[in-house]
Amino acid sequence: MRLANNKLLARRHWGTLVEAGLALATASAATRLLPFKRYIALGARPVGQDQRAIGDEMARIVDALGRRLPFRSVCLQQGIALQWMLRRRGVDAVLHYGVQLPKSGGEIRAHVWVSVDDRVVLGAPQHADYAEVARYPSAR
């Protein structure tokens, strides 16, 4: 795993890198072991102060690490991990769950993205091709 050369993962990011690895591993286990409603709601806990500035930076770290892990870490696990990390810091991160209907007999596809203040920080630009069917926490 060659993360050291990535500008986004400088020494000051190492703590976040470790946290992202733990959050991704936890999200991966949760999506396998818990019912959907239980694991999807884990990151929807109330938040405190607003720290939106860290959303983009943390999303890049989760995305970079998630693509390099030896276990399954796609948009679902990455979205859950990022939402957990941001909300823990008081950022009102929203996890969106969307579907794309099949064209001529294909399978339904799903995608997860995370937004902060209605701006997508993880899962763009693909999210535009999906119809949102749920968000966590739900719309107020």
Between residues 56 and 134, the one the model is more confident about: 134
Cross-strand pairs, 116: 93, 119
Residue 111 exposed, middle or buried by CB count within 10 Å (0-12, 13-18, 19+)? buried
Tokens 């739900």 belong to residue: 138
Quote the pTM value: 0.66
Q: What is the pLDDT of residues 57-114, one digit of tens each?
A: 889 889 988 888 888 789 999 999 999 999 888 888 999 999 998 878 788 999 999 9
Residue 140 predicted with pLDDT over 50? yes
